[in-house]
Amino acid sequence: MDDQNKNLLLATALSFLVILGWYVFFPPPEPQPQPDAVVAETAPAGDVVSAPAAGSEGAAVTAEAETAADAPRLTIETPRVSGTISLLGGRLDDLSLKDYRVSLEEDAAIVKMLSPAGDPNAYYALYGWAPGAGLGPDDVPGANTLWQAEGDATLTPDSPVTLTWDNGKGLTFNRTIAVDQDYLFTITQSVTNASGSTVALAPYGTLARHGEPQDLKNFFILHEGVIGMADGTLAEIDYDDMTDFEVDARSGARAEVTQVETNGWIGFTDHYWMSTLVPEPGQAFRSIAKFDERREIYQTDIVLPTVSVANGETTEATTMLFAGAKEWATIRGYQKDGIEGFLDSIDWGWFFFLTKPIFAVLHWLNALIGNMGWAIIGLTVLIKLLVFPLAYKSYASMAKMKELQPRMEEIKEKAGDDRQKLQQEMMALYKKEKVNPAAGCLPILIQIPIFFSLYKVIFVTLELRHAPFFGPFQDLSAPDPTSIMNLFGLLPMAAPVEGTLMATIFIGILPILLGISMWLQQKLNPAPTDPTQQMIFAWMPWVFMFMLGGFASGLVVYWIANNTITFTQQYLIMRSHGYKPDVFGNIKSGFKKTPKAEKK
C-alpha cells in the first residue's frame, strides 16, 4: 500500500511539473491588438426604404476621417471626467476618467475612456439622422458634418453646449449636449423644416470601436463585449461571437438586430468601464450589434422610429450616453432614475442571487469601516453568523461521532470482511444515537457557492480595484505582492513578476497564512487511519496554499478569516458537547513517521 502511495505521489508531482513546464516554455498567446483601420462611419439604416446602408458613403468619408484630429473642438470639464468634443460629426471621441489611473504608480496616467479615429483602438460615439424619402445622405448630418458652436463653449454640468448645422435646403439641425456630475451625457437632437415640403428621417446613435480592446482579459469569469437590455432581457455578446453574425442586408454588415418596444439600452462593457447608448424610458427603438469585417469595426446602434416633419414644424429626439466607470452606487442611481435593469450591466454571473447581496453588504461595510480589507473580514463574520445554525448542528454531530469512535472500531473488528454486516450495524448505531455521518459536509457544501460568488465579486467589481488593506497590500483585486524570494521585502531584490512560474513557487505572506490556517483546522481531528486518506489530508493545505497564491489577495483574506472563525467555532462547539480536541497531540502525531505496512 505504501509503495502505491509513493507512486501516486510521484505521478502527481511529475504531472504538476509537466504542466508548469508547458506554461513556461509554451505560454498561451497574448491577445494581439487588431489593426487600426480608418472607419467609414455612416448612419445606420433607417426605418424607410431610401435610408442608406452602412458603408455607402465610401472613400469620401475615409478622407475626412483622417482630418478628425485637426477639426475644431469643444472642451468637456466636470468633477469626474475631462475631454473634448470634435465639431467634425459632433463626435464624443475624447474622454478621460479623472478618478482612476491605469496603475498604482504615482505618475500613472488617468484612464482614457474614448479616443478619436486615427488613434490606436479608436472608440467614440456618433449621432445623426438617417435620411428618409426625398432626402439624400448629404441632406442630413452624419459622421463628417462640420457643426458650428457659439464662441468657446465648454461643456460642464451647469452649461450644456449646442451645435448647429444648416443643410442649405431648408433644414436646420441642432444638437444640445448636457452632462451630469458623473458619467451620463444627454443628447437632444432637433430638426426645423423650412424646406417647403414634408420630410422623413430617423434619429440614431452609434458607438464604434476600432478592433478589440488592447487590455482584453479573455477570462471565463468576466464578460467583455456587447452588453444590452431589451424589454427586460439581458444580452451579452463576446467580440468573437460578433464576427459570426449573419449578414444583415438592412445594416449592410454582419449584425444582430433587436426590436425594443419599451425599455432598453446597448453598448460595450470592459472589465471596469462601459459606454452605453440609452433611449428615454418607454421609447421604442431598434437595437443593433454590428461587425464590419472589412475594417475590423465593432459597433452598436440605436435607431429610433422614423418621424415625418411637415414644413414649418420642429421635432426633437432625446437619448443618453453613459461613458464611465462601472461604479455600483452610480449605476444603481441611474437605474432608480429610470434606466431599467442598468445594474445588470455589472457581470454578476449565474450566482447573481448571491453575488448581488454579497456585494451590497460588502459595499455597506466598506462605507462604514473605510477599509475594504476589514470590510471583507466583517463580511466573513456576518456570513459565518448567518450559517451558524447549520454549522452548530454539523460540529455537534462531529463531536458525537468522536464519542462513538470506540464502538465503531468494535463493530469493524466483529464484522471483519463482511462489508454488508458492517454497513448494517453502522447504520443501526447512527440511527440509535441520532447521528448523521454526512453532517460534517454541510459547512463545506455551503462554502463552495459562497466562495465562488465572492471570487466573482472581487474579480469583476470596480470597488475592489486598487482597494488598499494595509502595508504592502494596496490592491485587494491583485495577488499578494510579497514573496519568500526577498523575505517579504527585507532583501533588496524585486519579487517575481506576477503570473510567472517563480511567482507561483515563491508565494507571499497571505497564501502561507492560508495554508497554516487550513493545516490547523485539520488538527482538530486525528489523522485518518487509512494511509491514502492520511496522505491526501496531509498534502491538501499546502496544495491549496500554492493554488490560491495567484488569486486576488482579497479572496485569500476572506479564506484566512473563514478558516480562523471555523476553527474557533468547531473547537468551542465540540468542547461544549464533551469532546476535547487534542490539537497539539494531533500536530505531534503528524510529525511521526507512519509505520510501513507489512508485506504478505
Return per-residue pLDDT of the chain as tens, 600 residues: 334 334 434 444 444 444 444 444 444 444 333 333 333 334 443 333 233 333 333 222 333 444 566 789 999 999 999 999 999 999 999 999 999 999 988 889 999 999 999 888 899 999 999 999 889 999 999 898 999 997 778 999 999 999 999 999 999 999 999 999 999 999 999 999 999 999 999 999 999 999 999 888 888 889 999 999 999 999 999 999 999 999 988 888 899 999 999 999 999 999 999 999 999 999 999 999 999 998 999 999 999 999 999 999 999 999 999 999 999 999 999 999 999 999 999 999 988 999 999 999 999 999 999 999 999 999 999 998 988 887 777 777 766 776 777 777 777 777 777 778 777 877 877 777 677 666 656 666 777 888 889 889 999 999 999 999 998 899 999 898 888 887 877 777 777 777 777 777 888 899 999 999 998 888 876 666 667 777 777 788 888 888 888 888 999 999 999 899 988 888 888 777 667 776 777 677 766 655 444 443
Question: Which grid cell is 146?
Answer: 462640420
**Would you state the pLDDT for residue 528?**
63
What's the CA gap between 543 and 511, in Å, rounded?
11
What's the CA gap between 354 and 350, in Å, rounded?
9
State the Cα torsion 585-586-590-591 to the nearest 10°.
-20
Cell numbers 444627454 correspond to: 186
CB atoms < 10 A from the CB of 258, how many?
Answer: 16
What's the CA gap between 344 and 325, in Å, rounded?
14
For 271, 322, 330, 341, the CA distances from 336, given in Å and listed in that order, are: 23, 15, 10, 9
Residue 142 near residue 89 (C-beta atoms within 8 A): yes
Residue 409 near residue 509 (C-beta atoms within 8 A): no
> What is the rounded end-to-end Cα distance, in angstroms, of the chain?
11
CB atoms < 10 A from the CB of 543, how many?
Answer: 14
| Nearest alpha-carbon partner for 274 in 220, 207, 219, 188 | 207
What's the CA gap between 300 and 348, in Å, rounded?
22
CA angle 501, 507, 510 (to 5 degrees): 145
- Main-chain phi, psi angles of 120, to 5 degrees: -60, 135
Cell numbers 451625457 correspond to: 185
**Would you state the pLDDT for residue 444?**
67
**Under 8 Å CB-to-CB from 197, ≥6 apart: which residues?**
134, 311
Amino acid at residue number 466: H
What's the CA gap between 18 and 65, in Å, rounded?
51
Residue 580 near residue 403 (C-beta atoms within 8 A): no
What's the CA gap between 574 and 53, in Å, rounded?
74
**Would you state the pLDDT for residue 5?**
37
CA angle 448, 454, 457 (to 5 degrees): 145
Give the number of C-alpha atoms closer than 13 A to the C-alpha of residue 24, restricted to the C-beta side: 12
What secondary structure does DSSP assign to 68-83, as a single string? GGGS-EEEEE-SSEEE
Residue 373 near residue 476 (C-beta atoms within 8 A): yes
For 213, 372, 472, 555, the CA distances from 475, given in Å and listed in that order, are: 23, 10, 9, 12
1: exposed, middle or buried (C-beta count within 10 Å: 0-12, 13-18, 19+)? exposed
Residue 223 near residue 240 (C-beta atoms within 8 A): no
- Main-chain phi, psi angles of 125, to 5 degrees: -115, 140
> What's the order of all strands across the beta sheet hosting 273-279?
148-149, 161-166, 171-179, 184-193, 314-325, 273-279, 264-269, 225-230, 233-238
Question: Which grid cell is 265?
Answer: 439600452
Cell numbers 502561507 correspond to: 512
73-77 vs 154-155, strand pairing mode: parallel
Q: What are the start-end ranges of the H helices in 322-351?
A: 328-336
Question: Which grid cell is 73?
Answer: 473642438
Residue 367 near residue 361 (C-beta atoms within 8 A): no
**Would you state the pLDDT for residue 421?**
76
**Under 8 Å CB-to-CB from 355, ≥6 apart: which residues?**
348, 349, 453, 456, 457
What's the CA gap between 476 and 479, in Å, rounded?
7
| Nearest alpha-carbon partner for 291 in 246, 224, 234, 323 | 246
| Strand ranges, E, within 102-250 | 110-114, 123-131, 148-149, 154-155, 161-166, 171-179, 184-193, 199-210, 225-230, 233-238, 247-248
What's the CA gap between 305 and 312, in Å, rounded?
21
Please state the three-class secondary structure of 248-295 as a single string.
ECCCCEEEEEEEECCCEEEEEECCCEEEEEEECCCCCEEEEEEEECCC
* Residue length of the chain: 600
